[in-house]
Structure 1
Amino acid sequence: RATNARVIEHQQKRDALHERYTKAMQGPDLAELKQIIADEEIVDPISGTKNWTDVRQFNLMFSTEMGSTSEGAMKVYLRPETAQGIFVNYLNVQKTGRMKIPFGIAQIGKAFRNEIVARQFIFRMREFEQMEMQFFVQPGTELEYFQKWKETRMKWHQTLGFGAENYRFHDHEKLAHYANAATDIEFRMPFGFKEVEGIHSRTNFDLSQHEKFSGRSIKYFDPMTKESYTPYVIETSIGVDRMFLSIMCHSYREEKLDNGETRVVLLLPPALAPTKLAVLPLVKKDGLPEKAREIVNNLKFHFNTHYDEKDTIGKRYRRQDAVGTPYCVTVDYDTLKDNTVTLRFRDTMEQERVSIDQLQSIIEDKVSITSLLKKLQ
């Protein structure tokens, strides 16, 4: 590859085109972008046509009017992100919480984007739920923390157990006007690698703009350096809907069993499963339902526990597999004698006999969100 003349020629052409494209995007030079499409003879993959419209800027914000009368109405925009409320109030949080930089503020809420193509199920919607964190740092350290949060957020995603090969970074070449570094964490969806989270170094743009137009100082006084400055910000932004979609896509399985049957199973990470444990009496008589209810009443304060006594035990197992319940407990006649139950594991379908007194300690750590957070240390 390093010496082959044809490979070198192709690489030089690619590099030249990439440099030309990057320059046009940074402008943005829309006429140049149209010319690149024409020069490279790019065709529509479906129709094969080269008859492209001019390259245009699209408005990604929804506008509306606020006011009781049309004459006095003021044009406003639905928020395309949840971050700005954090920026406006960051100093209030810092002072009341006695925070020292670096520190972060997280928020979840609705955001609205006037998407050009909103036809990808819940992956791309005009109204969506967004989780964002703004991490305030000392100027000059932002790229160090940017790298740190890249690693931490990727580690979080991989901790879910979906395989490191299904995640990758996509570093931005065309940066937003306020950023000096940006990357996306992409997940392998059924329709290809797609962004689930963005990580950005937003510099001090947002805070300085709020300060400029409000006329009020929102600088942070650093007790260590004895100076006041406008903090730089590292942002992590993740779409709840996209996260949900990635988890559901990877968790859903139709498994062929040794006996020829097929089971539908949702291999949700136990910490994210809505129901952690199902308690199933073998039959609806002879005191087994009462014993099962007793187990449910003892454990329901620690994690979400479900009771089911309808149909055969096999059908009940399949129902719990389909909704992603990690553990099932079967109460049988031996339970009344020795206070033990059969604990079944969703992923392997293996079963073991355990004491009722051990159930909480066996299950709680595995199904708690803290079990995921501990892996990030």
Structure 2
Amino acid sequence: MATDQNKFQAIISHCKEYGFVFQSSEIYDGLSAVYDYGQNGAQLKKNIRDYWWKSMTQMHENIVGIDSAIFMHPTIWKASGHVDGFSDPMIDNKDSKKRYRVDHLIEAHAETLPEGNGDVLISKMNELLAADDLAGLKTLIETYNIQCAVSKTANWTDVRQFNLMFSTQLGSVTDEASEIYLRPETAQGIFVNFLNVQKTGRMKIPFGIAQVGKAFRNEIVARQFIFRMREFEQMEMQFFVRPGTQKEWFAYWKEERLKWHKSLGIDPDKYRFHVHDKLAFYADAAEDIEYEFPIGFKEVEGIHSRTDHDLSRHQEFSRKKMQYFDTEINQNYIPYVIETSIGLDRMFLLTICDAYVEEDLTKDGKEDSRVVMKLPAKLAPVKLAIFPLTKKDGLPEIGKELMDKCKSAFHCFYEEKDAIGRRYRRQDAIGTPFCVTIDHQTKEDGTVTIRYRDNMEQERIPMDKVKELVLNKINE
């Protein structure tokens, strides 16, 4: 699997330098695996979120959206299996005091072995994980003499399970407070509201419920920038179907979701499906959409056929019927569920990685280069930058007039200072697709120079056509 760590580090640096992503609490030396989105990152993230939300709730007549609370009744997490089963096997090196997720530790070692030997190691690990054989996993680590990357020793503790849910107290007095959890996923908020939405919305199966929201996991080995964080955002849709039709709907949503990714103009060759080797006991199909990041192919979205497991468990634990009466077949049943779950932060990182380009512009022996973010126009934080050529002769006033005309339709940026070339480069670096320069000719004939980010070509157009042109490109 080809990786490009240098490019990945360059992207991380670019994200900080141009206001996309900052280390959280940086002035206090930061907080591990927690990040803040800067002014450009927050807008890009919102644009991705809005594009997904529109594609789900506006473009599908039988899908509606909700926004459930982060705090939920603790029994929900018992019913969902998170209290008993949401854990990862961990191991500590006694010399470095560094903690590792066992599967990550073994996978990293497997990558250093010849291909056949590495595959054997991964196969043995998967068998032990499936059997919850923690002692066997430690023996496997010792057999292969897997060492800590920091201490270079193999002085390991026993392997033990570590629950990934954050817990907190609900109540004003500690002694009387009850323990609750920060949700580790958004899906359960949809399941427990299934009947509320179905009845109040008079929804008929098949129908879906979509949600975007924060989730929290106490990842011990959080890594790879914003790819794996402790606080992250999910975009999930649970699609409720008649039992027996789930395979057809699984195939439909698998195709539909890949189509959504391709609609962003991202290189389709960088996508692939990964079929799960081992299914959860309640599932009958599961595949991931993976993207080729500079750090290799990684999961971005999961499509899962979850049968009736979730609603059945909530019916059992709440003692409330979670059934649907299907008038077409005159029958009561607990619906089956097809889930599409995409990480918003991972989609943000995918978009950044796909857009980041370092271009050599050397011409006629004169060295030149630029870093450009070739973001889809519909997602770019700023759509149009407006540049008066000088700060005098009435050019700023014309620029502000164009700004006032366009800013209600899309995000604009106005700047007067520096040479025009420098202004262009700054906008290239944040991914602004169009720049307009207002010069003295504008005063004479009402035309402006519009520059296109990707090919740097320029053309003269009437100023009153700028808004229409940008809107057309955004909506393509």
TM-score range, shorter chain: 0.7 to 0.9
- Structure 1 Cα separation of the partners of residues 168 and 445 of structure 2: 68
Residue 285 of structure 1 aligns to a residue whose secondary structure is: coil
Maintained 8 Å contact 2:356/2:373: yes
- 2:446 aligns with 339
Q: How does 1:264-303 map to 2 (within 5 A)?
A: 264-303=371-410
- Structure 2 Cα separation of the partners of residues 189 and 297 of structure 1: 39
Find the partner of 1:111 among 215, 223, 231. Answer: 215
Residue 122 of structure 1 aligns to a residue whose secondary structure is: helix
Q: How does 1:292-331 map to 2 (within 5 A)?
A: 292-331=399-438
TM-score normalised per structure 2: 0.69
Find the partner of 2:345 among 238, 241, 257. Answer: 241
- 1:146 aligns with 250
Find the partner of 1:352 among 445, 459, 462. Answer: 459
Find the partner of 2:284 among 168, 177, 180. Answer: 180
- 1:228 aligns with 332
Maintained 8 Å contact 2:371/2:428: yes
2:308 matches 1:201: no
> Structure 1 residues 130, 293: CA separation in 2 closer, same or farther (over 3 Å shift)?
same
- Structure 2 Cα separation of the partners of residues 45 and 63 of structure 1: 30
- Structure 1 Cα separation of the partners of residues 298 and 414 of structure 2: 38
- 1:217 aligns with 321
- Structure 2 Cα separation of the partners of residues 175 and 44 of structure 1: 31
The one-character-per-residue Cα deviations of 1:13-70 (angstroms, maximum 9, x if unpaired) are 999988766554433333444555566x363485776665544333121223333334
Residue 347 of structure 2 aligns to a residue whose secondary structure is: helix
Residue 57 of structure 1 aligns to a residue whose secondary structure is: strand
Residue 153 of structure 1 aligns to a residue whose secondary structure is: helix
> Structure 1 residues 287, 264: CA separation in 2 closer, same or farther (over 3 Å shift)?
same
Q: Which moved more, 1:206-215 or 1:147-156?
A: 147-156
Unaligned runs of 5+ in 2: 1-113
* Matched AA of 2:235: M
2:254 matches 1:137: no
- Structure 2 Cα separation of the partners of residues 15 and 176 of structure 1: 22
- Structure 2 Cα separation of the partners of residues 48 and 162 of structure 1: 41
- Structure 2 Cα separation of the partners of residues 62 and 348 of structure 1: 48
TM-score normalised per structure 1: 0.85
- 1:374 aligns with none
Residue 322 of structure 2 aligns to a residue whose secondary structure is: coil
The one-character-per-residue Cα deviations of 1:243-293 (angstroms, maximum 9, x if unpaired) are 222222232233221342222222111111111011212222222222222
> Structure 1 residues 254, 13: CA separation in 2 closer, same or farther (over 3 Å shift)?
closer
Maintained 8 Å contact 1:22/1:173: no
Residue 225 of structure 2 aligns to a residue whose secondary structure is: coil
2:267 matches 1:160: no
> Structure 1 residues 16, 242: CA separation in 2 closer, same or farther (over 3 Å shift)?
closer
Maintained 8 Å contact 1:329/1:341: yes
Residue 313 of structure 2 aligns to a residue whose secondary structure is: helix
Q: How many residues align?
A: 359
Maintained 8 Å contact 2:148/2:154: no
Residue 437 of structure 2 aligns to a residue whose secondary structure is: strand
The one-character-per-residue Cα deviations of 1:309-353 (angstroms, maximum 9, x if unpaired) are 212221211121111110011122222232222111001001112
- Structure 2 Cα separation of the partners of residues 70 and 296 of structure 1: 54
Maintained 8 Å contact 1:25/1:174: no
RMSD: 2.7
Residue 335 of structure 1 aligns to a residue whose secondary structure is: helix
* Matched AA of 1:43: I
Deviation at 1:113, TM superposition (A): 0.8
Residue 208 of structure 1 aligns to a residue whose secondary structure is: helix
Residue 65 of structure 1 aligns to a residue whose secondary structure is: strand
Which structure has the higher relative contact order (CA within 8 Å, separation 6+)?
2
Unaligned runs of 5+ in 1: 1-9, 372-377
Q: Which moved more, 1:229-238 or 1:244-253?
A: 244-253
